[in-house]
């Protein structure tokens, strides 16, 4: 039975991979609508022929790696169960200590080692192609350093989260999903609060914006928008990438507006002011809190569904999955498998909501700056430097794009008429 299920799972993965490859490289249409030819949204107006070719190649490769890596992770979790690897890890933990937290930590250590080794090829391919297409400038040793930091940060967080989750499962057997959700609310807010000042600095150096003249312009927009900002932060990303970015992170007193130093080098002051006004819009319109609220709502629904499905699967096929009961740590791959499937299934809805808030932020920024030319040129440069598809395929857009496509953003901006 184990061999039969494993063969079917691998076969389905290969069929899915073939479909994705054919869709991305032969079926999907990324040509620009005829009416937009020659407009600011036409990549031929701001990319040369080589950049156009590279952007299509790189985008297809990135999208292929994404769509192959997600079900690959599902396959990994499934095989851990049916071959009894998860049960073996749990026995190692139980044989080492009688303390549940220590047992969980030992289980997770071996689980993370196995996960890292199995998923590493996709991580490395992503790094390799970003280097090949001159997006990443990071050395392999520096990249591996970030990988090691990722491993230990995620491991320590998961020891806390999984220990608490399985204690809740054992204590509240019928309503564990509700108790786990209630416990996740303060924990999620706490993580978002400490991320800008504890977690992010592990990877990069954050400093107040060095260009004080530009900072004064940005703070003037912030004052106009009633944002109590005292600093804009820049982060040293030029040692890792040529890509451009800016973002808002954190909650409450730890909220930060951050600019990559690559953005400071590549964009003009007017273009940066538009980007900053866009990021300020997320603060003004409370998008961070909307994001937290929608995330917690989805988590509530997800945990309820996971609890229902896990109970049925363990009752009917617990022996094949080598799981004695839901509340045993050996069921973790099943929990993660169901979580990942639900997150993927919900991503079109989540991305759709995100694209709506990003559109509102664009509208706010252009109303604030009244400079559509700078806004259009900023988006053009973001696309050119990042080798992004201006008009991505439909499935890529709904499953991967948390922002509107560049063709939509630029086309909307070119219809904007500045106020007199």
Nearest-5° Cα angle at 249, 244 to 250: 165
Between CA 252 and CA 195 the distance in angstroms is 12
Both tokens assigned to 374: 């700078």
- Please check if 282 is assigned to a binding site: yes
Q: Which residues of 295-309 are buried (b: 16+ CB within 10 A; e: fewer)?
A: eeeebbebbeebbeb
From residue 309, how far is each of 197, 342, 368, 381 by CA, in Å? 38, 11, 49, 46
261, 271, 279, 411: which is the annotated catalytic residue? Answer: 279
CA gap 94, 111 in Å, rounded: 14
Contact 263, 235 (CB under 8 A): no
Q: Which of 386, 374, 371 is nearest to 47 (CA)?
A: 386
51 is catalytic: no
From the list 362, 373, 381, 408, the catalytic residue is 362
- Reply yes or no on whether 362 is catalytic: yes
User: Hey, what long-range contacts does 236-241 have (CB within 8 A, 24 or more apart)?
Assistant: 236/204, 236/205, 236/207, 236/261, 237/204, 237/261, 237/262, 238/137, 238/262, 238/265, 239/137, 239/138, 239/142, 240/136, 240/137, 240/138, 240/142, 240/204, 241/130, 241/135, 241/136, 241/137, 241/138
The answer to whether 328 is a known ligand-binding residue is no
Distances (CA, A) of 245 to 242, 276, 305, 383: 10, 10, 36, 11
- The count of C-alpha atoms lying within 13 angstroms of the C-alpha of 308, restricted to the half-sphere facing its C-beta, is 6
Residues annotated as catalytic (active site), given as ranges: 279, 362
Binding residues: 278, 282, 358
Binding residues for Zn(2+): 278, 282, 358
């Amino acid at each position: 039975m184990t061999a039969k299920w494993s063969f079917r799972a691998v076969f389905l993965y290969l069929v899915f991979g073939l479909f994705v490859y054919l869709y991305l490289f032969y079926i999907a249409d990324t040509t620009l609508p005829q009416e937009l030819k020659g407009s600011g949204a036409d990549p031929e107006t701001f990319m040369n022929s080589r950049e156009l070719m590279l952007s299509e190649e790189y985008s297809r490769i990135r999208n292929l790696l994404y769509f192959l890596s997600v079900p690959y992770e599902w396959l990994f979790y499934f095989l851990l169960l049916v071959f009894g690897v998860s049960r073996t890890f749990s026995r190692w933990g139980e044989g080492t200590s009688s303390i549940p937290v220590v047992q969980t930590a030992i289980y997770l250590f071996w689980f993370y080692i196995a996960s890292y080794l199995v998923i590493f090829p996709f991580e490395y391919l992503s790094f390799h192609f970003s280097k090949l297409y001159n997006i990443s400038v990071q050395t392999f040793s520096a990249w591996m350093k970030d990988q090691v930091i990722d491993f230990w940060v995620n491991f320590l967080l998961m020891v806390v989260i999984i220990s608490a989750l399985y204690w809740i499962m054992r204590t509240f057997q019928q309503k564990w999903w509700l108790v786990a959700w209630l416990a996740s609310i303060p924990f999620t807010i706490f993580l978002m609060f400490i991320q800008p000042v504890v977690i992010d600095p592990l990877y990069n150096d954050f400093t107040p914006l060095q260009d004080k003249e530009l900072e004064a312009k940005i703070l003037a927009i912030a004052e106009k928008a009633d944002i109590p900002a005292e600093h804009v932060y820049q982060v040293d990303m030029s040692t890792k990438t040529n890509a451009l970015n800016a973002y808002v992170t954190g909650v409450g007193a730890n909220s930060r507006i951050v600019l990559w130093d690559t953005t400071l080098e590549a964009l003009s002051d007017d273009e940066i002011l538009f980007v900053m006004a866009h990021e300020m819009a997320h603060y003004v319109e409370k998008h961070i809190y909307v994001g937290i609220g929608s995330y917690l709502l989805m988590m509530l629904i997800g945990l309820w569904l996971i609890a229902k499905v896990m109970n049925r699967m363990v009752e009917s096929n617990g022996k094949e999955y080598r799981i004695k009961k839901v509340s045993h740590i050996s069921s973790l791959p099943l929990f993660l498998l169901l979580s990942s499937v639900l997150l993927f299934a919900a991503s079109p809805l989540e991305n759709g909501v995100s694209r709506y808030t990003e559109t509102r932020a664009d509208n706010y920024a252009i109303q604030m700056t009244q400079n559509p030319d700078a806004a259009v040129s900023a988006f053009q440069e973001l696309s050119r430097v990042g080798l992004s598809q201006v008009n991505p395929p439909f499935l890529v857009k709904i499953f991967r794009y948390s922002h509107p496509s560049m063709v939509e953003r630029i086309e909307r901006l070119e219809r904007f008429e500045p106020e007199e």
